Amino acid sequence: TTGYITLDDGYSNTGSCQSDVTFIDGEKGILRYRGYPIEQIAQNSSFIEAAYLVIFGKLCNQQERDDFADLLSENAPLHQSMLKHFDGYGSNGQPMAILSAMVNSLTAYDPQVMHPEDENDLVYAAASLISKVRTIAAASHKTTIGEPIIYPRKDLKYVENFLHMMFSTPYSEYEPTPEVVRALNMFLVLHADHEQNCSTSTVRMVASSKANMFASASAGISALWGRLHGGANVAVIEMLQKIHDEGVDPSVFMNEVKDKESGRKLMGFGHRVYKNFDPRATILKDAAFDMLEKMNIEDPLLDVALKLEEVALQDDYFVERKLYPNVDFYSGIILRAIGIPLDMFTVMFAIGRMPGWIANWKEVHEDPKARIYRPRQVYQGEVDKLWVPRDQR
Ligand code: SDX
């Protein structure tokens, strides 16, 4: 029940390791952060409280929460000269590319992160990364839409400050509704960690060479970008939008998905571990309904998603392969209702996953027995070849 799979040192080529952070039971659709069921955390915790739990392994009391929140506020601004980097991207910058580059560049302004000496250094680095990833994300959005970068405010909480930096302008202050704040907190909580997924394994791999926390998180951002992983939340909306705009019958679309030749996948469906409902998808689906109703928003893409899910759950192709909605199938509906642009969807996933990456980096960093990960391979190439001079080739 401790949720780890024993194996030899570090990473072997089956890609497993020992960890205390997150437990998943794919058959039963169970997800727990540090032993607490995701349903209880999503219902009761803000993202900052969930981040504290994932990183430090305990529910924070009021003083610990206030101290952590203060540290995040203090570390929200970027170094003034770092803002100049954004000018180089202009409107062509892909927010995920900017995020990965800028997170890595943070070490230029926080050299002590390179060689953390004690727990205080680690807490500072974690708080700085969780706080600044939000500032960088909002700044990358402003850069791509050609608006001035908006500075964080000291008086705002984590999610409110992010929304301020995303949607305020020098001429107007953005005031989020309670529904938007609650929905975005829940979205980030549900993405906070997820065992040894592709990007978290990447973070552990990079951490095992003794690379610093920021460099490891930057690698995690790059791995998350792929359409089969964090990039799926963009691919889901593109799929739903295409079906809606072209008036494609969901059953016809499903037949294309089942035709292997088409190469189509039902984005937002399937999971390597969950062979039952992804508990996050269940929570996000309910939250999407709740939010649209409270905000009096009609999103036709939700209707398309519901129809696709209905068809899939009755189709042997999906049932036999145990393909169910995953975290990405409904999350985009919530981001759309908040007003987050599509090119920022995977960035939102990265902001949410930052605590999990930090917790996993810390596990490798603090493990006295940790060795550099060095998966092996099955060599399938030619052997014993003889080199020949160029005029004889
Ligand atoms: C995330 O690992 C994590 O925890 C990730 C994540 C996290 O929080 O970090 O949960 C976040 O990445 C969620 C997944 C987002 N990706 C997508 O929604 C993309 C669509 N899904 C698929 O690409 C796929 O389901 C994966 C990538 C999620 C899982 O890949 P697997 O485990 O390698 O699945 P598979 O390819 O072995 O599938 C088994 C069968 C195959 O058919 P057969 O060869 O047996 O005939 O199911 C089919 C697959 O072709 N299949 C799908 C499908 N997913 C699997 N067919 C159609 N549509 C799909 N989505």
Q: Which of 2-16, 244-258, 282-296, 348-362 has the lowest mean pLDDT?
A: 2-16
What contacts 93, CB < 8 A, 6 or more positions away?
A: 86, 140, 143, 144
172 forms beta bridges with 169
Measuring from each residue's beta carbon to the nearest atom of ligand 1, which residues come in under 6 Å?
Answer: 194, 197, 228-229, 232, 257, 265-273, 321, 323, 326-328
Active site includes 244? no
- Look at ligand 1, atom 52, and give the residue with the nearest C-alpha: 265
Q: How far is CA 99 from CA 157, 160, 263, 327, 332, in A?
A: 21, 20, 30, 22, 20
Note the pLDDT of residue 92.
83
pLDDT per residue as tens digits for the range 162-205: 999 999 999 999 999 999 999 999 999 999 999 999 999 999 99
pLDDT in tens, 208-249: 999 999 999 999 999 999 999 999 999 999 999 999 999 999
Across 294-304, average pLDDT = 96
**Nearest Cα to 304, choosing from 229, 254, 231?**
254
Residue 26 and residue 389 in contact, taking contact as beta carbons nearer than 8 Å: no
- For 363-391, what is the mean pLDDT? 95
Q: What are the phi and psi torsion angles at 35 (to 5°)?
A: 95, -10
Average pLDDT of 90-94? 85
Q: How far apart are the CA of 266 and the centre of ligand 1, in A? A: 9
Å from CA of 115 to ligand 1 middle: 38
| Cα of 328 from ligand 1 centre, angstroms | 11
pLDDT in tens, 309-348: 999 999 999 999 999 999 999 999 999 999 999 999 999 9
Burial 196-205 (b: 16+ CB within 10 A, else e): bbebbbbbbb
Confidence of residue 6 (pLDDT cuts 50, 70, 90): very low
Q: What confidence tens digit (pLDDT) does each residue in 108-129 have?
A: 998 888 888 888 999 999 999 9
CA dist 7 and 14 (Å) reads 9
Question: Is the Cβ–Cβ distance between 191 and 353 less than 8 Å?
Answer: yes
Q: How far is CA 66 from CA 58, 63, 129, in A?
A: 15, 5, 18
Structure confidence at residue 264 as a pLDDT band (50, 70, 90): very high
Ligand 1 midpoint to CA 277 (Å): 13
Model pLDDT for residues 44-78, shown as the tens digit of each residue: 999 999 999 999 999 999 999 999 999 999 999 99
Q: Out of 225, 236, 323, 348, give the residue to mutate to test ligand 1, the one with the largest number of ligand atoms within 8 Å of its CB.
A: 323
ipTM above 0.90, yes or no: yes
Nearest-CA residue for ligand 1 atom 41 is 321
pLDDT(369) > 50: yes
- The arithmetic mean of pLDDT across residues 7-34, rounded, is 78
Q: Which of 33, 189, 269, 318 to mutate to test the pocket of ligand 1 (most atoms within 8 A of CB)?
A: 269
d(CA 323, ligand 1 centre) in Å: 8
**pLDDT higher than 90, residue 1:** no
Confidence of residue 2 (pLDDT cuts 50, 70, 90): very low
Report the pLDDT value the prediction gives residue 90, as an integer from 0 to 100.
Answer: 78
Q: What percent of the chain has pLDDT over 70?
A: 96
Q: How far is the CA of 382 from the centre of ligand 1 (A)?
A: 33
Ligand 1 atom nearest residue 229's Cα: 12
Report residue 263 CA to chain centroid gap: 25
Residue nearest to atom 32 of ligand 1 (CA): 272
Q: What is the pLDDT of residue 14?
A: 44
Residue with CA at minimum distance from ligand 1 atom 34: 272
CA-nearest residue, atom 54 of ligand 1: 270
What's the chain's average pLDDT? Answer: 94
**Which residue's alpha carbon is at the smallest distance from atom 2 of ligand 1?**
197
pLDDT of residue 102: 97
Q: Where does the pLDDT of residue 15 fall: very low under 50, low under 70, confident under 90, or very high at 90 and above?
A: low
Is residue 271 part of the annotated active site? The answer reads: yes
pTM for the full predicted model: 0.95
Candidate list 110, 271, 299, 365, residue with the active-site label: 271
pLDDT at 390 over 90: yes
